[in-house]
Structure 1
Amino acid sequence: MENEGSYKILITGGAGFIGANLCEYFLSKGHRVVCLDNFATGHRHNLTACLADANFTLVEGDIRNLADCQKAVAGADYVLHQAALGSVPRSINDPVTSNEVNVSGFLNMLVASRDAQVKRFVYAASSSTYGDSESLPKVEDKIGKPLSPYAITKYVNELYADIFSKTYGLETIGLRYFNVFGRKQDPNGAYAAVIPKFVMQLMKHESPVINGDGNYSRDFTYIDNVIQMNERAMLTANPEAINTVYNTAFGDRNTLNNLVAYLKEYLSEYDAQIASVPVIHGPQRAGDIPHSLASIDKARQLLGYDPQFSIQDGLKQAVKWYWENLK
């Protein structure tokens, strides 16, 4: 990595789960951090610690507005673009808004970053880009057809980033996130991710509902692995490592049945009754891929990525955080 000085870093979607963790981490490293967020899915309470830091600036704005993007990126050395409307079901229910935020908003950020001459634009891509490809593990250069409007938007991001690299010389790196989880992930709302949702249900002694038979598998990836990946992508001095995409994962897969078993085990250390909460199986969800497992060889080789948290390590940390903050 480059010799690390103090940088000005714009984190879009900085009030969201991943963005807020990135904000806290880079502030702890002595950098100046600007957060751009419209609070559509992010939360002000995620930024409580950041707002007390003199090196932190909050810009309330929308990536769909080019002027907001330009204001936020002014003077930035690096951009970590996390802002997006996540969720496959949300995109199926409302493809227009998902496209406006994830494609038009992304393009605005690329234009603003190009014009501000930032050193590098690192962005949240998605494992959904693998679509109907059945090969496992997932390798970056082999993708299938997208299975949802959300997946289309995230693939278009990769295409736009590639064109901006080739046409304008903007350095870009895309991080294909695989089922990220951890502290600050919102358990509420119609499109809550599965881990915080299950944790909250179990803490209330409510039965979690698994879509299908529970044998679908995912490469669940703890937030601290994702922070490491963003930092390495941002600071790498390896010319071969830029203008491409990387799987951002642990490189192991677990079924939803395994996941719930781990959650019950770790939560029952705080409340013994949780061990006996029954699980319900519901219908399969539209647009879901059956199995997801990342090859992280490319990230290891080109970025020196070395994820420290397995699903078990991460879940223990996440469960502790939820118990202390949301009980």
Structure 2
Amino acid sequence: MSGGLRVTVTGGAGFIGSNLVSWLLRHPAVGRVTVVDDCSTGSVRLLGSDLAETDFRHGSVLDPGLLDQAMARADAVVHLAALPSVPRSVLDPMASHQANATGTLTVLEAARRADGPLVVAASSSSVYGAQPNLPKSEHDRAVPLSPYAVSKLATEAYLGAYHSCYGLPVLPLRFFNVYGPRQQAGHPYAAVVPKWIDAALANRPVTVYGDGTQSRDLTCVDTVCQVITTAITDRVTSPWPVNLALGTRTSLLNLVEQLGDVLGIRLQVEHAAPRPGDVAHSQADPARLLELFPGTTAVPLHEGLAATVAWHCDQRVKDGLHRAPARRRSAPPSPTKGIG
């Protein structure tokens, strides 16, 4: 790893970060990967054998000294470190602000001291909030409904400001419901796909908040990693936010059906009250993404779910748990029609 691009990934021991580290380590243009993570939501276990090939720095993005060391001579910084989850931010808005907004500002200041590497940073479709338009375009006004969404809007604004004031090359990316292997369940703020897979493999019902007609633009983590890797190797920049999703739209009830098809079972469903801060529908307008990254294609949902289920099954085997529930076929719960 002596030659090639030098890339620093904050949050590199998390779900998206660890997948990205694998992509970068295997790209011929990349020479060194440095990871910064305090492992508060991630785990070095997710890096697996890749850990030995990285320069791993344990600590917080709120530590300027650590960031200065991690960004020394970096060509690009991918800022993924964050405190995720809308419900968590509703319970503790200050923690979300510190980790996400102040954390981003600390990273940008370190990048400025490091002579201006490209900074690619993760925002979220949650910034659209109550914006009723579908699909969601970057030209639409953001109407955030949660402290988490506000903190991600601040991330975008800070990147744009640092480009304008200091000429820093930046790329803010709005993630839309990213799922895939290495996304963990087993904690109160787990995302819907791993949470449901974990429940199904343990023969527990899946919980749907609301009536299940709400829809999401589910994006496989491989698509995210492909776009970010291309941004680094081709030095793609934009001071304006870019939707990182391809305009698919899946209702939660349809997701129940497709996950059941992958597992070969009928999922049991329990409904609960809608959660504060959740949005009803999320679908990206991919025009700006495709302009910057032509040829980007979505991983089919069934294919992405199959890879995700396989990873969870492998983890259960490693943890000494049953691999999967007994296979049985029956009609899926109704209604389950997809949207769009």
Same fold (TM over 0.5): yes
Q: Equivalences for 1:1-327 in 2 at 5 Å?
A: 6-30=4-28, 31=30, 32-53=32-53, 56-237=54-235, 241-268=237-264, 275-326=265-316, 327=323
Take 1:178 and 1:136, find their aligned partners in 2: how far apart are those partners? 14
In structure 2, give the amino acid aligned to 1:12: T
TM-score, with length taken from structure 2: 0.89
Distance in 2 between the 1:305 and 1:63 partners? 34
- TM-score, length-scaled by structure 1: 0.93
CA deviations over 1:131-181 (Å, ceiling 9, x no partner): 110000001121232100000000011111111001001000011000000
Deviations 1:269-298 (A, max 9, x none): xxxxxx244211111111011000001111
Q: Secondary structure at the match of 2:243?
A: strand
Which sections of structure 1, spanning at least 5 residues, go unmatched?
A: 269-274
Deviates more, 1:23-32 or 1:299-308: 299-308
The SS at the match of 2:241 is strand
* Paired residues of 1:250 and 1:309 also in contact (CA < 8 A): no
Shift of 1:301: 1.3
Contact 1:120 1:171 in 2 (8 A): yes
8 Å CA contact 1:217–1:255 kept in 2: the answer is yes
**Contact 2:10 2:80 (8 Å CA) reproduced:** yes
Structure 2, unpaired ranges of 5+:
317-322, 324-340
Q: Output the amino acid matched with 2:204.
A: E
**Structure-2 separation of matches of 1:118 and 1:45:** 31
Amino acid at match of 1:135: N
- Partners of 1:250 and 1:310 within 8 A in 2: no
Amino acid in the other structure paired with 1:106: T
The residue that corresponds to 2:328 in the other structure is none
CA contact (8 A) 2:78 2:120 kept: yes
**Structure 1 residues 78 and 237: alpha-carbon distance in aligned structure 2, compared to 1, 3 A threshold:** closer
- In 2, Cα distance between the equivalents of 1:131 and 1:277? 29
Any idea what SS the aligned residue of 1:244 has? coil
Looking at structure 2, the residues matched to 250 and 93 of structure 1 have their Cα atoms a distance apart, in angstroms, of 31
Distance 1:217 1:51 in 2: 36
Matched to 1:293, the amino acid is Q
Contact residue 228 and residue 307 of structure 1 kept, 8 A? no
Report how many residues are paired.
313
1:237 shift after superposition = 5.0
- Counterpart-to-counterpart distance in 1, 2:225 and 2:41: 20
Identity of aligned residues (%): 37
Structure 1 stretches of 4+ with a deviation exceeding 3 A read: 235-238
Q: In terms of mean alpha carbon deviation, does 163-172 or 225-234 score higher? A: 225-234
